[in-house]
Amino acid sequence: MAEKRLPSVRGRQLAAHLRRLREAATLTADEVATRMGWSPSKISRIETAQTPIAEGDLQRLLDLYEASDSRRDQLTELRRNVQQRIWLDAYGDTLRPEAATFMELEADADLVRWYAPAVVPGLLQTEEYAREIVSSTLLLASPSRIERRVEVRVTSQRVLARDEPPQIAVVLDEAVVRRPVGGRGVMQGQLRHLLDLSERPDITLRVLPFGAGSHPAMTGGFTIFRLPAPVTAEVVYLEHMTSDVFVESDADIRYYNLAFERLSSLALDDDESQSFIADAAGISEH
């Protein structure tokens, strides 16, 4: 049985908007429950994104809160986005809930900033490289599960083919370029793929050389997602071996953005990074 998915970022945003509207209307959760004929626990579940809100219930709440037409349209559209069950549902037996949330963020974001200290980010991986990474990290997985994970990773890359793909900025640590994942052939193919991607106007790719010394992210990698309206929010993702963390505090997100700017300034520039990757791949000209 698939694990229960964590509340999505959009779902949490909708819940937060509804809570703020209730507070602006100077109503307690118990008062709303009484007027709506609901239990107080239902209000709590809606405002903590534990229960998806039905369309009719949303409209009744917006009537009660006397929401403006613009706010009504915004939250109705936000709910519609929350309810969309994207292609990831087909892989519910393969992905941990946090991984599914991460890929939802990839699909929704209009800007993604990565600091990658050990592995090429998933959206930029070749299938062969992805297979090697999945095989190495899923220690007890069956071959069929490994292939399912590779499939979901490759499928997720469809966001790069959209009419308006996300803007992507990546800082790769030199270790990512130097480590021969899967052997020379697989790694050379991956590096060539990075060079091709770096020529796209929506992708910025820089290498942080060992010679840059210490930096603000010595403790590990991170990903910053920026979500467009109606959410208009940023989320930081931190990946660990058996668990993941999503950071949504404004102060913390500001720190990660500052850290990324510092990493970018320490990294080689775009042309130097291309030359560095080409040299590592054994390509004389690109």
| pLDDT tens digits, one per residue of 192-226 | 999 999 999 999 999 999 999 999 999 999 999 99
Q: Using alpha carbons, list the distances in angstroms from residue 214 to 15, 53, 224, 266.
A: 41, 47, 21, 10
Give the pLDDT score at 4: 43
Query: For residue 118, which of 187, 177, 61 has the smallest C-alpha distance?
Result: 177
Residue 2 has pLDDT above 50, yes or no: no
Of residues 248 and 61, the one with the higher pLDDT is 61
| pLDDT tens digits, one per residue of 29-67 | 999 999 999 999 999 999 988 888 999 999 999 999 999
Of residues 177 and 90, the one with the higher pLDDT is 177
Total count of domains within the chain = 2
Give the pLDDT score at 208: 98
Residues 16 and 158 in one domain: no
Q: Which of 22, 48, 83 delimits the end of a domain?
A: 83
Residues 173 and 268 in one domain: yes
The separation between the first and the last C-alpha atoms of the chain, rounded to the nearest angstrom, is 48
Does 217 map to a domain?
yes
Q: Position 133: which residue type?
A: I
| pLDDT tens digits, one per residue of 250-268 | 999 999 999 999 999 999 9
Q: Which residues pair with 115 in a beta bridge?
A: 171, 222
Give the pLDDT score at 96: 79
Q: Which domain holds residue 141?
A: 90-281
